[in-house]
Structure 1
Amino acid sequence: MEHLVQNSANYVPLSPISFLQRASTVFGERVSIVYGSLNYTWKQTYERCCKLASALNRMNVSNGDIVAALGPNIPELYEVHFAVPMAGAIISPLNIYQNSSDLAAQLKLLEAKVLFVDHQYLKLAVDALEILTRTCTGLEFPKVVLMLETNPEAKTDTADGYYSGYRTYQSLIDAENNSGFEIVRPKSELDAYSIVFTSGTTGVPKGVVHSHRGAYLTTLAQIILNEMKAMPVFLWTVPMYHCNGWCFTWGIAALGGTNICLRKYDADFVFDAIVKYNVTNLGGATPVLSMLANANRKPLPFKVNIMTGGTPPQAHVVFKIEELGFILTHSYGMSEMLGPGTVYPWRPEYSTLPPQEQARYKALHGLNHMLMEAVDVKDPVTMESVPFDGLTLGEVMFRGNTVTKGYYKNPEKTRAAFEGGWFHTGDLAVRHEDGNIDVKDRKLDLIVSGDKTISTLDVEGVVFSHPSVFEAGVVGKPDEALGESVCAFVRLKEECKATGADEIIEFCRGKLPEYMVPKTVVMFDNLPFTSSGKLKKSALREMAKNLA
């Protein structure tokens, strides 16, 4: 079989860039982006991305350079997800909800050639760059490109003198005629495509590097997991800076769909937008589900697919979400796999269970999706798999083509993460008899009380089930006798403010072993969440420490 060869006819490196190229041809006149009264077609989006990529090349951005972007879910941020790699560079979307010190640390790590900044977040970027000016010598600062408001309906004064002197995003596109530009395809599909930052729930955010291949395959996984059909309508309630918008940035292009872009939203906006635009798909972390479940709205006139990740949704939230007309897909994953790693496989026999029991199953973590090679729960020391007994704790580990290449400029953490040929997540779980994994906690979040080890997620599940509770977070509180005791921080529903801590403790006592019952319950107006929807346990632990 020596005559069989690999060549350009039978091998092209996988890259999400091809999704946009195809969309411009197959779906050229279909609407690609809606932003207020602004509309683009796929042909226009492709042409704009080519012009931006050409402009970046003229700014000396080339292979391996990093281009960062700071902005909400606007058309420009969508475009840079394609245009930057089309110029041969690596895209790094940054969290708009972080402080200037954290942003400065990320810019120092990245050493980006260009920084696209939405006008609303220019002060944040300027403050971060001023920090670098004071603290770093010899660091080449990125060229700042300002993204001004393009929604004709938006009421904002972008003519303010504060914005003067900056090169603008639109001016880069207007200056290009696109003649002679050739898209820079990756030489290897393992070349870096994006750098995304972890949410920082367990420490300083790390820069996670993903390849063209990983981004391409995770996009296909999302399409399959969410049962997305051709030409979907996607409402952007998932931050594009979080895992590149869970890969829906590229998935909507692959299917020739329509992106409904937005700056901000609340429950009423989401319900109204779904009906107005005939939305087929959206996503959101657990707080988004809670927001929708607790909105005083009637069920939707048609079914809408919604994907969630992060902290597992509580069964009663799942039940309410589906009652409102949403079809929920719950996936467990992380930044290191660009979003989803597992999905719970629905079995026909589950449909015979009571609705609340069905909801409980849908909130579990399941098994690896079809494009993730394997998931296992192992003893991190011996690397032996734990038994399928639903009791033995081990660390969740993944192996597959959609797993990160490693942490940017952090060889030590990269080596530790891939110890033994598996990616170590730092999450602890059990495996049930049917093989499905059930994540119990992060290593750092487990409560060790006397000789007992307590999963905070198990306690949170019971606290959440109290009819007065809107949100809850459980951590260990320092205890002289036990080492740690269970401490619950609770946010009550608006109509249930009279509920007391003793009532919640007694409620838990009837459903949990005594050693797992919260010894302390603190009423809280707003629990601290990361911008990706994960509970900031580190902040709660500090509060519990101060209480002690």
Structure 2
Amino acid sequence: MFPSIPHATVPDLINHVCDQFAQRPCLAMYGSSTQTYAQLHANVRRMAGQLDALGVQSQSRVLIMLENSPQVIHTWLAVNFINAIDVGINTGYRGQTLEHAVTVSEAKLLVTFSHHLDVIAGSAQKLGQLQTILVLDADADARGSSPAVALLVDAGIKVVVSDELPVDAACPKVPVGPADIASVIFTSGTTGSAKGVQMPHAQVSLLAQRSAQKTGLTQDDIFYSFYPMYHMAGKFMSVLATFSVGGTVVMDTSFRPECWLSRIRETGATATAAHGPMLEMVFAQPPASGDRDHALRVVRTAPFPKRIATQFEARFGVRGLEVWGMTEIGIASWSDISKPLVVGSCGRIDTEFFEFSVVDPATDVPVPTGTMGEFVIRPRYPWTIMQGYLGMPDKTVEAWRNLWFHTGDCGWTNEDGQVFFGDRRSERIRRRAENISASDIEAVALEHPSIAEAMALGVDSGFESDDDILLCIVPGDGHAVEYETVLSYLAQHLPHYMVPRYLVFRESLPRTATGKLQRGAMRAKLPDLSLWDRKANNVSVRALRA
């Protein structure tokens, strides 16, 4: 379908590599045994047969709420093998964020582990069309003996344990095309609820294979990946990219800066990926004589922090590969690892697949080279960028204007065609590679009976392109509110990465004449405010949830 991309659907790609590299190592969890491509293929086909037996239909959506594990890989690929749509759910979702994702997906089936049942059951009456939960571990609580299962059953949701399904169910032969939707990934918008990005097979396949090409991956590479499978950096740019060339993926459950280098060394990893703030945390670890004692050759990143980029490469003896993109379009700009580092640049536009312009946000007129403007983009081939936001046609229309997709990212290009990222146009909070909607935090805060008004802001975390979260609160009349009480409530109802670090109580919040929150005006007051700091008071999210 494309000049340099041979496989245009996920099943076609997986069938090809599992045949070509059948006995080669494919996938392992850190510290665990490895499965081959032949074993991966067998597991995926068996799971596909079980999903078919459950009645999953072509192009229906299947929610996947699983941590990094072999099971999350098998489930995702099995869903695609029967031409259904995998919808990755952030395992930290709870309350409103979970309810929104489940409802807007219109999914009837959710696949998860038993330890998530309590959180899911807490929203049992607000889960849209959900009919069945498939539990992949045989925990006794999932077999009807727990309060969570009782709540779900009362809501009309059936709980099925995977070992109750036939082990010999045949994988059906279902046609899958490049235009069919493969995945929905929720990207937390800078305004409003998280948006479900509908990604066709052609987009997913292009992203994976292009990632392998631009990163220089081969069958001899070992890719160390800790990104979750509800994030495109983990699912498509790390796992599927490595699979596309017959390489080996070593998955970890999370990112830990103090363990990063030792695990790179232990796994024999030759390639990995990490967002800029993560690399700053790694760089902040005490230098050691063994910092270059490893097989790693490339770290793909966005951004490569300007403050440390040159020093990071020198200290660890690796190349940093900076890119620019987003879930909606994939990766449009790549650095060239065969050429010297250009600090601050995310490379050049991949003109084989994209048209690109930098425009005045007010007029959509292109700006001169070197001038800051908004990045707009469009594909050269069909089905290679998203096909709209799920259940949000207004947001889809808003993003497309004058035949260009408006990314909301701003920056500039130089005379050599290098692309330099500036920032988001809209008010945004970015925390550890997650875009966070301020309104999602505010909506949960306003459900607390003692809170009358709330405004969430991103404040400098000390890492490049990364924020800590500040929540400004106006207590209700006659209500006495304590910091830890508010935080405890938020920790029970928000994903961990959305729980604020800072709190401040105010008598009022600045608003426009029409009542809209004035975030800029509030931000201008911050230097004069005394903020309560959760970290300085040794209050962890884990402790708040205990």
TM-score by length of 1: 0.71
Q: 2:41 aligns with which of 38, 43, 46?
A: 46
8 Å CA contact 1:72, 1:262 repeated in 2? no
1:305 and 1:76, CA in 2 relative to 1: closer, same or farther beyond 3 A? farther
Kindly report the root-mean-square deviation, in angstroms, between the aligned alpha carbons of the 2 structures.
3.7
Q: 2:318 aligns with which of 323, 326, 346?
A: 326
1:286-345 deviation per Cα after TM superposition (whole angstroms, max 9, x unaligned)? 23212221223431323424444445523315522542133211111111123x221234
1:170 and 1:293, CA in 2 relative to 1: closer, same or farther beyond 3 A? farther
Task: Tell me how far 1:275 sits from its aligned partner.
Answer: 1.9
Q: Which residue is 1:440 aligned to?
A: 422
1:404-444 deviation per Cα after TM superposition (whole angstroms, max 9, x unaligned)? 11111222221222211211101122222223222222112
8 Å CA contact 1:333, 1:341 repeated in 2? yes
User: Which letter does structure 1 place at the counterpart of 2:41?
Assistant: Y
Q: 1:489 aligns with which of 460, 471, 489?
A: 460
Measure, in 2, the Cα distance between the counterparts of 1:196 and 1:324: 33
Q: 2:388 aligns with which of 406, 416, 422?
A: 406
1:378-407 deviation per Cα after TM superposition (whole angstroms, max 9, x unaligned)? 12454332111x2x3221011114321111
Q: Which residue is 1:241 aligned to?
A: 230
Measure, in 1, the Cα distance between the counterparts of 2:333 and 2:23: 36
- Mapping of residues 314-353 of structure 1, within 5 Å: 314-317=306-309, 319-338=311-330, 340-345=331-336, 351=340
Q: Which residue is 1:88 aligned to?
A: 83
For residue 273 of structure 1, give the secondary structure of its aligned residue in structure 2: helix
User: Which letter does structure 2 place at the counterpart of 1:373?
Assistant: F
8 Å CA contact 1:267, 1:291 repeated in 2? yes
For residue 315 of structure 1, give the secondary structure of its aligned residue in structure 2: coil
Measure, in 1, the Cα distance between the counterparts of 2:145 and 2:22: 38
Q: Which residue is 2:28 aligned to?
A: 34
8 Å CA contact 2:142, 2:149 repeated in 1? no
Q: Which residue is 1:77 aligned to?
A: 72
User: Which letter does structure 2 place at the counterpart of 1:116?
Assistant: V
Measure, in 2, the Cα distance between the counterparts of 1:394 and 1:198: 23
Measure, in 1, the Cα distance between the counterparts of 2:70 and 2:24: 16
Q: Which residue is 2:183 aligned to?
A: 194
For residue 282 of structure 2, give the secondary structure of its aligned residue in structure 1: helix
Q: Which residue is 2:284 aligned to?
A: 294
1:232 matched to 2:249? The reply is no
1:24 and 1:246, CA in 2 relative to 1: closer, same or farther beyond 3 A? closer
For residue 197 of structure 1, give the secondary structure of its aligned residue in structure 2: strand
1:540 and 1:366, CA in 2 relative to 1: closer, same or farther beyond 3 A? farther
Q: Which residue is 1:147 aligned to?
A: 136
Q: Which residue is 1:167 aligned to?
A: 160
For residue 123 of structure 2, give the secondary structure of its aligned residue in structure 1: helix
Q: 2:345 aligns with which of 361, 364, 369?
A: 364
Task: Tell me how far 1:542 sits from its aligned partner.
Answer: 9.6
Task: Tell me how far 1:96 sits from its aligned partner.
Answer: 1.8
TM-score by length of 2: 0.71
User: Which letter does structure 2 place at the counterpart of 1:168?
Assistant: V
User: Which letter does structure 1 place at the counterpart of 2:26?
Assistant: S
Aligned residues: 437
- Mapping of residues 198-277 of structure 1, within 5 Å: 198-243=187-232, 245-277=235-267
8 Å CA contact 2:217, 2:242 repeated in 1? no
Q: 2:96 aligns with which of 94, 101, 104?
A: 101
For residue 330 of structure 1, give the secondary structure of its aligned residue in structure 2: strand
8 Å CA contact 2:9, 2:202 repeated in 1? yes
Q: Which residue is 1:185 aligned to?
A: 175
1:55-87 deviation per Cα after TM superposition (whole angstroms, max 9, x unaligned)? 111111111100011122111111122110111
8 Å CA contact 2:214, 2:336 repeated in 1? no
Measure, in 2, the Cα distance between the counterparts of 1:487 and 1:74: 32
8 Å CA contact 1:68, 1:114 repeated in 2? yes
8 Å CA contact 1:305, 1:329 repeated in 2? no
For residue 69 of structure 1, give the secondary structure of its aligned residue in structure 2: strand
Q: Which residue is 1:16 aligned to?
A: 10
- Mapping of residues 306-317 of structure 1, within 5 Å: 306-311=298-303, 313-317=305-309
Measure, in 1, the Cα distance between the counterparts of 2:15 and 2:523: 53
For residue 21 of structure 1, give the secondary structure of its aligned residue in structure 2: helix
Measure, in 2, the Cα distance between the counterparts of 1:284 and 1:269: 14
Task: Tell me how far 1:185 sits from its aligned partner.
Answer: 2.8
8 Å CA contact 1:68, 1:94 repeated in 2? yes
Measure, in 1, the Cα distance between the counterparts of 2:144 and 2:55: 30
User: Which letter does structure 2 place at the counterpart of 1:148?
Assistant: D
For residue 408 of structure 1, give the secondary structure of its aligned residue in structure 2: coil
Measure, in 1, the Cα distance between the counterparts of 2:399 and 2:285: 40
- Mapping of residues 512-523 of structure 1, within 5 Å: none
1:255 and 1:313, CA in 2 relative to 1: closer, same or farther beyond 3 A? same
Task: Among all aligned residue pairs of Structure 1 and Structure 2, give the percentage whose two residues are the same amino acid.
Answer: 21
Q: Which residue is 1:418 aligned to?
A: 400
Measure, in 2, the Cα distance between the counterparts of 1:440 and 1:242: 22
1:284 matched to 2:274? The reply is yes
For residue 407 of structure 1, give the secondary structure of its aligned residue in structure 2: coil
Measure, in 2, the Cα distance between the counterparts of 1:337 and 1:530: 27
